[in-house]
């Protein structure tokens, strides 16, 4: 299932980059979304995830939508020896939209970045280095978007995240969000060129 | 031997090849290469140079595989800047990453990996000439910041039964440069600051004696490069100061590391280095010019402030000068001259001094009258303290059509040349074993390489080129110490359980390479290189020693620039497994971290760069070892997992004009 999802996602993205179908419209997308973990695995023997929230900033480019994002989630320990932590996900993002029918599009994309584990201080943390762990993370995303108005759209996506810790962590999310599209100010157009 | 020649000529008939200077085994890394791979540190160029055979322990310092392999044939790395010698390095190790230049001020890097006489400089190992950019008019500014993280940290499992050690974080690396240029004068200032990890479990597992404070190497340095040109000639000055341990910026301490091949361990140390290099070209008479180069290099090496062992503390001074005359005599362009080097290695603790002089005369003759065929002769004769040596090379090219060219070079050299610390150590080591001074001298004299290289280049249209080279090198009378390294887990230490010396190591090495360069469109460029290397004949110890050189190497690179503001690169390096006979008993008790036979390597790196503000700002994301294979270049070296790096660069050209 996981391999199939990865294969489909990267095939779509490879095709989209090669086709270079999207155009540079000089717009900015600001997105707010909520995430919830699904498909529990061994990780959940140690931690339970609470719903999280994220924010994306992206621009239109000829190759697709590119930008950055941040997501915050809380993970509460299940066993005493573990530590609860906030998971902060910083990433670069790429998205491509494939129109299906009027107002509805299929979304395919991936994120590359760093997942940060910010541990609760339960009195045993001595140094700042023990408070924070970071690791490289990849995420693929697919879903549906619905154009609400000319500048607003709603999105429902699922994503799979792989965090490259020594004992690998796989997380599966269901995401729902809204995206506001605004015209890029002239001064900013010069910057993104 | 004969069968190899037959195979070669069959291949050469079947494959067509390119229009590069090949018989001299020179590669040029251009600015576009460095930009496309999003160079983080200078040593990243090694990842796109399969022609070089290097090992690295900690992905920070690179050493030629043949560097100190033969005791009487040191083949290290020599760094030049704009053709001027710098003697940069620490004793006999040269860390390109620590050369204090912002990569943004580099136009290209010329690398020779076979014996060569280059601008009068003889190199038996790897010669790297860094060519700087001519600064834009007025004042320009560049700053680059990068950092990265190797996968494999414990993450939240840090506080569970799945606990593991933290692994490497690369960086931050910071480069800043500023330049001023006008028609006749330019000045460039560079500053570099780097943090490199020393946390790899393979290193930590065997260095019980040392405590690496903060488990990182800290380095910073700056350089000033200026050039003046007039009708009378050109004058270049390069000065630099670099520091490891307690660096110029920041308060954290991080000892540098020196890996000693003979002991199979590293020593923590700190170092201050100062370089002054000057190159002067003076127009003399009609088409004649005089070249005057001078260099001073000083290293002050102290043991790490947290190291309680009795390793030495050293001062290493180089003084060097070169004088040459470049002119034309009838149909011959010539460059003749001489150089003088003085080195003083001072062991501060024992007060023992190792002083030596190295005088050299050289001549390069280029038969320029006939462009087809063309020919050149390079010769160098050196008189060392006790080890005279020579180098002579004949090169010829014949272009038998517009698209086809064949080249042939024949060379002979004594590779024991710019040795420094290795010579000192070798002499002490031999004397300790009762080998007389005369015997040492004899050994040093006798080692020689004789090489014949044949190249064939072919242009297949404007966008395709092929190149094939066969190189046969005969090694004669090399001296080899067969060590037997054993890992002692209880003491977290590696010992040499016995060394055996072989003083007449002979053999014939065959090397074949095929290169294909293809510009698919203005947006896509690809390159494929295959290299085959093997001992064709020789005594058994030669064959065993040379197994550390990968037999097959395959390299592929793809540069893609779909739009002016986005570039991407993909590089693939594959090499077959290698065997290190000195480490035949290393695996026991090492938790599979140490290997006698290293695995095949498949390293895939990729990068994407987005440019902003009309190329004034660049943001790059890089993934090294995308397939997350086990990458290990040395039997007791670190293993490198998938690593994610980001780089941000601001490049403001001619922001102030006068």
State the average pLDDT over residues B247-254. 80
- Read off the pLDDT of residues A147-178 as tens digits, 9 standing for 90 and up: 999 999 999 999 999 999 989 999 999 999 99
* pLDDT > 70: percent of chain B: 89
Question: Residue B496 pLDDT more than 50?
Answer: yes
Helices (H), B435-566: 437-446, 540-545
Mean per-residue pLDDT over chain B, rounded: 87
Distance from CA of A171 to the nearest CA of B (A): 14
Question: Among all residues of chain B, which has the CA nearest to that of A76?
Answer: B156
Selecting from B158, B159, B612 the residue whose C-beta is nearest the C-beta of A191 gives: B612
State the average pLDDT over residues B197-206. 86
What counts of helices (H) and strands (E) characterise chain A?
3, 9
Q: Which residues contact B540 (CB under 8 A, 6 or more apart)?
A: none
Q: What are phi and psi of A100, to 5 degrees?
A: -105, -65
CA dihedral A63, A67, A73, A79 (to 10 degrees): 60
Question: Residue B16 pLDDT more than 60?
Answer: no
Q: If you ran DSSP here, which 8-state letter would residue B161 be given?
A: T
Whether the CB-CB separation of A79 and A65 falls below 8 Å is answered with: no
ipTM above 0.85, yes or no: no
Question: Residue B400 pLDDT more than 50?
Answer: yes
Determine the Cα–Cα distance for residues B405 and B415; give it in Å rounded to an integer: 30
Contact assignment for B151 to A164 by CB distance below 8 Å: yes
Pairing of strands B77-81, B126-132: parallel
Contact assignment for A166 to B162 by CB distance below 8 Å: yes
Predicted local confidence at residue B19, as pLDDT: 36
Q: Does pTM surpass 0.95? A: no
Predicted local confidence at residue A17, as pLDDT: 59
**Smallest Cα–Cα separation from B5: which of B537, B592, B600, B658?**
B537
Question: Which residue, among B155, B619, B639, B652, would best test binding to A if mutated, counting the most A CBs under 10 Å from its CB?
Answer: B155
Predicted local confidence at residue B630, as pLDDT: 92
C-alpha pair distances (Å), A36 with each of A54, A144, A153, B87, B602: 11, 17, 20, 59, 37
The 10 Å Cβ neighbour count of residue B101 is 23
Which chain A residues are closer than 8 Å to B164 by Cβ? Answer: 166-167
Contact assignment for A167 to B157 by CB distance below 8 Å: yes
Question: How many alpha carbons fall within 13 Å on the CB side of residue B385?
Answer: 17
C-alpha pair distances (Å), B143 with each of B176, B225, B567: 4, 17, 19
Predicted local confidence at residue B4, as pLDDT: 39
- Read off the pLDDT of residues B35-70 as tens digits, 9 standing for 90 and up: 999 999 999 999 999 999 999 998 889 999 988 788
Predicted local confidence at residue B71, as pLDDT: 77
Predicted local confidence at residue A26, as pLDDT: 86
Report which of residues B357 and B470 the model is more confident about: B470
Q: Which of B17-26, B399-408, B432-441, B492-501 bottoms out in mean pLDDT, i.e. has the lowest? A: B17-26
Strand, helix or coil at B459?
Answer: strand
Question: Residue B506 pLDDT more than 80?
Answer: yes
Question: Residue B457 pLDDT more than 60?
Answer: yes
- Read off the pLDDT of residues A53-71 as tens digits, 9 standing for 90 and up: 999 999 999 889 999 999 9
State the average pLDDT over residues A112-133. 82
**Smallest Cα–Cα separation from B81: which of B114, B54, B119, B46?**
B119
Determine the Cα–Cα distance for residues B265 and B398; give it in Å rounded to an integer: 49
Report which of residues B10 and B381 the model is more confident about: B381
């Amino acid at each position: 299932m996981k391999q199939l999802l990865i294969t489909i996602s990267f095939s779509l993205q490879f095709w989209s980059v090669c086709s270079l179908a999207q155009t540079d419209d000089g717009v900015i997308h600001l997105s707010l979304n909520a995430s919830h973990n699904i498909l529990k695995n061994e990780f959940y023997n140690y931690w339970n995830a609470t719903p999280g929230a994220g924010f994306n900033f992206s621009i239109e480019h000829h190759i697709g939508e590119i930008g950055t994002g941040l997501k915050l989630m809380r993970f509460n320990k299940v066993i005493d020896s573990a530590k609860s932590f906030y998971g902060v996900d910083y990433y670069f993002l790429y998205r491509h939209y494939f129109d299906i029918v009027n107002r509805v599009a299929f979304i395919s994309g991936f994120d590359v970045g760093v997942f940060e584990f910010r541990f609760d201080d339960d009195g045993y943390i001595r140094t700042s280095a023990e408070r924070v762990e970071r690791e490289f993370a990849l995420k693929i995303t697919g879903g549906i978007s619905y154009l609400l108005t000319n500048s607003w759209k709603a999105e429902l996506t699922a994503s799979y995240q792989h965090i490259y810790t020594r004992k690998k962590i796989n997380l599966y999310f269901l995401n729902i969000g809204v995206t506001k599209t605004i015209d890029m100010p002239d001064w900013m157009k010069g910057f993104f060129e | 031997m004969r069968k190899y020649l037959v195979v070669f000529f069959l291949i050469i008939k079947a494959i067509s090849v390119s229009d590069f200077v090949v018989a001299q085994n020179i590669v040029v890394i251009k600015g576009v290469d460095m930009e496309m791979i999003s160079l983080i540190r200078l040593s990243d160029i090694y990842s796109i140079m399969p022609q070089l055979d290097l090992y690295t322990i900690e992905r920070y310092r690179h050493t030629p595989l043949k560097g100190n392999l033969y005791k009487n044939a040191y083949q290290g790395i020599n760094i030049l800047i704009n053709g001027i010698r710098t003697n940069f390095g620490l004793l006999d190790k040269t860390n390109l990453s620590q050369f204090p230049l912002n990569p943004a001020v580099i136009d290209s890097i010329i690398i020779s990996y076979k014996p060569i006489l280059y601008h009068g400089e003889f190199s038996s190992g790897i010669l790297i000439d860094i060519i700087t950019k001519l600064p834009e008019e007025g004042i320009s500014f560049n700053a680059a910041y990068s950092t990265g993280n190797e996968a494999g940290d414990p993450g939240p499992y840090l506080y569970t039964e799945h606990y593991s050690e933290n692994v490497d974080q690369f960086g931050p690396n910071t480069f800043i440069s500023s330049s001023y240029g006008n028609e006749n004068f330019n000045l460039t200032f560079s500053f570099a600051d780097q943090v490199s990890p020393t946390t790899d479990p393979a290193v930590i597992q065997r260095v019980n004696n040392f405590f690496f404070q903060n488990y990182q190497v800290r380095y910073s340095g700056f350089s000033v490069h200026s050039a003046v040109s007039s009708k009378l000639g050109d004058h270049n000055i390069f000065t630099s100061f670099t520091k490891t341990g307690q660096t110029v910026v920041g308060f954290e301490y991080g000892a540098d590391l020196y890996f000693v091949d003979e002991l199979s361990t590293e020593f923590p140390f700190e170092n201050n280095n100062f370089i002054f290099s000057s190159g002067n070209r003076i127009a003399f008479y009609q088409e004649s010019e005089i070249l005057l180069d001078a260099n001073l290099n000083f290293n002050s090496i102290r043991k790490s402030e947290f190291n309680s062992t009795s390793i030495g503390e050293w001062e290493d001074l180089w003084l060097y000068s070169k004088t040459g005359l470049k002119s034309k005599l009838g149909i011959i362009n010539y460059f003749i001259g001489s150089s003088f080097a003085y080195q003083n290695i001072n062991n501060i603790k024992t007060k023992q001094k190792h002083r030596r002089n190295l005088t050299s005369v050289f001549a390069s003759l280029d038969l320029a009258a006939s462009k087809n065929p063309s020919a050149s002769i390079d010769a160098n004769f050196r008189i060392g303290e006790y080890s005279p040596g020579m180098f002579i090379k004949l090169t010829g090219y014949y272009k038998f059509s517009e698209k086809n060219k064949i080249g042939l070079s024949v060379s002979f050299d004594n590779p024991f040349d710019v040795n420094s610390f290795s010579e000192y150590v070798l002499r002490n080591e031999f004397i300790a074993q009762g080998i007389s001074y005369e015997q040492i001298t004899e050994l040093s004299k006798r080692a020689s390489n004789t090489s014949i290289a044949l190249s064939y280049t072919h242009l297949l249209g404007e966008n395709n080129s092929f190149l094939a080279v066969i190189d046969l090198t005969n090694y004669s009378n090399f001296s080899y110490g067969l060590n037997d390294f054993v890992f002692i887990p209880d003491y977290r230490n590696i010992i040499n359980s016995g060394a055996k010396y072989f003083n007449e190591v002979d053999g014939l090495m065959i090397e074949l390479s095929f290169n294909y360069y293809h510009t698919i469109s203005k947006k896509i460029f690809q390159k494929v290189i295959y290299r085959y290397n093997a001992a064709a004949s020789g005594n058994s110890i030669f064959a065993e020693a040379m197994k550390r050189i990968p037999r097959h190497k395959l390299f592929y690179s793809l540069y893609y620039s779909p739009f002016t503001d986005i570039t991407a690169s993909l590089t693939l390096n594959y090499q077959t497994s290698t065997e290190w006979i000195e480490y035949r008993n290393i695996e026991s008790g090492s938790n599979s971290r140490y290997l006698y036979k290293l695995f095949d390597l498949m390293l895939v790196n990729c990068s994407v760069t987005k440019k902003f503000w009309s190329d004034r700002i660049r943001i790059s994301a890089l993934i090294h070892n995308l397939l997350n294979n086990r990458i290990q270049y040395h039997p007791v070296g670190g293993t490198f997992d998938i690593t994610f790096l980001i780089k941000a660069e601001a490049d403001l050209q001619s922001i102030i004009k006068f």
